[in-house]
A and B are shown apart, each in its own frame.
Chain A
C-alpha cells in the first residue's frame, strides 16, 4: 500500500517549456487535489477532482491544466512554464466510499524550479 505517490520528485525547467506531473493513489479515493506551497503562503489549491473524468478549478488555476482519466491518477500539466511557477507541488487524495472518511492524504511532493 504505497498511498499517494508523485513523479518526478525534482525537476528543473526553462521558461516556456512544458511538463506533466503525475500523481497516483492506491486507496480507492474518489477525490484528488493538486496544491502548490510557497514560503509564507501556505498550501494553495490549484485544481481538484471529485471523480473520474471531472475536474474543477481551485484558488490558483491559471497556467495549469489537469486531467483525471483514471480514478487512481491525476495529472497536472504546465503548458508554458514561468519562473512564478517555481514551487513545491503536492498531490493529495481523500474520501473513501467504503469507510466514509474524508481525511486528505498527501504525496511526498515535487520540487519544480523554472529558470
Chain B
C-alpha cells in the first residue's frame, strides 16, 4: 500500500531559526514528490521534485529529493511568523497524489 510519512508532526521555533522537515515515501510507479504549504485555507504549491539530488529553491525555502533513500527534505532558513503553516508532502503515483498528514510549523516572534 502506498504511503507517505512526514516528520516531525509538529515543530515550534523562534523567528530566525532554520528548520528541516522530512518526508519519506513508498509509492508505486513513483513519478515525483511535491511540497505544499497550507495555512487556514487551500494548500498552495511549493515545489515539485523529479530528479534526485537537484535542489529546488524559492527565497528562504529549498527542497531536495533522494530517490535512493525514498525521501525528501524541505528547509526553511531565517524563519518568519508568516511561515507558520502545515507543510504537506505528496508522492505522485502515475496520475494521483498520495499525501502525508503534514508537519505543523509554528514560528513565534
Contact = CB atoms under 8 A, between A and B. Distances in A.
Interface of A: 31, 33, 40-45, 48, 50, 58, 90, 95, 101-109
A105 B96 contact: no
B8 interface: no
A107 B42 contact: yes
Contacts of A58: 96
B23 interface: no
Interface in B5-38: 31-32, 34
A104 to B, nearest CB: 6
B42 A108 contact: yes
B96 to A, nearest CB: 6
Contacts of A43: 43, 88, 90, 99
Is the interface on chain B under 10, 10 to 19, 20 to 34, or 35 or more residues?
A: 10 to 19
B28 to A, nearest CB: 14
A89 to B, nearest CB: 11
Contacts of A45: 96-97
Contacts of B101: 40-42
The interface centre, meaning the residue of B34, B42, B99 with most chain A CB atoms within 10 A of its CB, is: B42
A102 B42 contact: no
